[in-house]
Amino acid sequence: MQTTLKRSLHLTVRGHIINRYMKTLVNYFLIAFTIIYSVSAQSVKEYQQKIAECFSQGDYKCAEENLLTAISIAGESYSSLYLLYTNLGTAQRRLGKMEEALVSYNKAFELNNQSPEVLSNRASLKRQMDDLDGSLMDYNLAITLSPNEEKLLINRSMTKKMLGDTLGAENDLLIVLQLNPKDFRALTNLTNIRLARGEFDIALATYNKIISENPKEPLLYNNRADVYLKIKNYEKAMDDINTAIKIGENYALAYVTRAEIMIAMGERKKALKDLQKAVKLGEKSSYVFQLIDECNKY
């Protein structure tokens, strides 16, 4: 009886010791994990400051390198890891690394499939890579997650227009204008759809009005230059596009439009320089390379 009691007491004491040991061990790992996580989070925050500086300076190689380092430090448990991959995709896209950018956006989506930002970036890239169906699918999902988001609706309308769904594109833009009648980007895109139908006078009148209200927007001068190009008023087209470039010297699309005007005027060598400048600024659509091929034939 005494032997049994001693054995029971011995096991109880031993159990308490083991429990205390296990609790100490768990607490140790929790403290160690917290310290490591805190150090990692602080290190990532420091890299994020560097990354922001790289983007602000247009140094996308610097941004890519720092993002890759930040991702390796952060680890899979980092709550905003998907944002790092999203920014990585954007940096790679600006460097012309389209396939790598798509991989990064896919990883961001895998980490957070409820982010309209991730979907919007991937949709835009897919459109640039001529995957219009994939682009539309991403925009549809993004808008489901964030209804009435003006930027998403405008971008989806662009994809719809490229797919030949001008009615769907027009509907998206009309929704935006109902939400915000002063959204000149939606109004200009709507005007471009009407321009494609041959409504030149209406398009010019609309752009004249919008430019008078927003005289510092290069996009508007670029678009009015395109109207003048279509009616073969090359002098006014050139005046507008030069104004667009003067206001926004890094506005890649303006160089493409000026190249189109140059081609129409028979100045293909000058057009080629503008197209090369546009590519350098990140405009790498298949249409731009078709124009480059056309210029190189002469």
User: Could you tell me the CATH number of the domain that includes residue 13?
Assistant: 1.25.40.10
Could you tell me if 91 and 225 lie in one domain? no
Task: Supply the pLDDT for residue 179.
Answer: 94
Could you tell me if 144 and 6 lie in one domain? yes
Looking at the structure of the chain, the number of domains it has is 2
Average pLDDT value for residue range 235-260: 96
Q: Mutual orientation of helices 200-213 and 218-230 as an angle, nearest 10°?
A: 160
Could you tell me if 5 and 137 lie in one domain? yes
Contact 157, 173 (CB under 8 A): yes
Provide the 8-state DSSP code for 105: H
Q: Is the pLDDT of residue 29 over 70?
A: no
* Lowest-pLDDT choice from 47-61, 138-152, 245-259: 47-61
Q: Is the pLDDT of residue 42 over 70?
A: no
Could you tell me if 142 and 197 lie in one domain? no
Could you tell me if 1 and 144 lie in one domain? yes
Could you tell me if 142 and 13 lie in one domain? yes
Mean pLDDT of the chain: 86
**Residue 154 included in any domain:** no
Average pLDDT value for residue range 9-34: 47
Q: Is the pLDDT of residue 253 over 70?
A: yes
Q: Is the pLDDT of residue 3 over 70?
A: no
Task: Supply the pLDDT for residue 76.
Answer: 81
Q: Is the pLDDT of residue 238 over 80?
A: yes
Domain boundary among 148, 166, 195: 148
Please indicate whether residue 91 or residue 9 has the higher confidence score (pLDDT): 91
Q: Is 180 helix (H, G, I), strand (E, B) or coil?
A: coil
Q: Is the pLDDT of residue 289 over 70?
A: yes
Could you tell me if 114 and 253 lie in one domain? no
Averaging pLDDT over each range in 13-17, 34-38, 272-276, which range is the top one?
272-276
- Structure token pair of residue 19: 């429990």
Q: Is 112 helix (H, G, I), strand (E, B) or coil?
A: coil
Q: How far is CA 85 from CA 67, 70, 77, 107, in A?
A: 8, 10, 14, 7
Could you tell me if 6 and 96 lie in one domain? yes
Q: Is the pLDDT of residue 94 over 50?
A: yes
Domain boundary among 148, 164, 187: 148
CA distance 159 to 62: 31
- Which residues constitute the domain of residue 134? 1-148
Q: pLDDT band at residue 22, thresholds of 50, 70 and 90? A: low
Alpha helices in the chain, H assignment, sequence order: 2-56, 60-74, 81-94, 98-111, 116-128, 132-145, 150-162, 166-179, 184-196, 200-213, 218-230, 234-247, 252-264, 268-280, 286-296
List Cβ neighbours of 85 (8 Å cut-off, separation of 6 or more): 71, 104, 105, 107, 108, 111
Task: Supply the pLDDT for residue 43.
Answer: 76
CA distance 231 to 236: 10
**Residue 164 included in any domain:** no
Please indicate whether residue 47 or residue 139 has the higher confidence score (pLDDT): 139
Provide the 8-state DSSP code for 251: -
pLDDT digits (tens, 9 = 90+) for 64-87: 998 999 898 888 878 889 999 999
Could you tell me if 7 and 131 lie in one domain? yes
Could you tell me if 123 and 249 lie in one domain? no
Task: Supply the pLDDT for residue 16.
Answer: 53
281: nearest Cα among 131, 96, 24, 101: 96
Could you tell me if 194 and 109 lie in one domain? no
Q: Of all residues in the chain, what percent carry a pLDDT higher than 70?
A: 86
Could you tell me if 136 and 254 lie in one domain? no
**Residue 31 included in any domain:** yes
**Residue 48 included in any domain:** yes
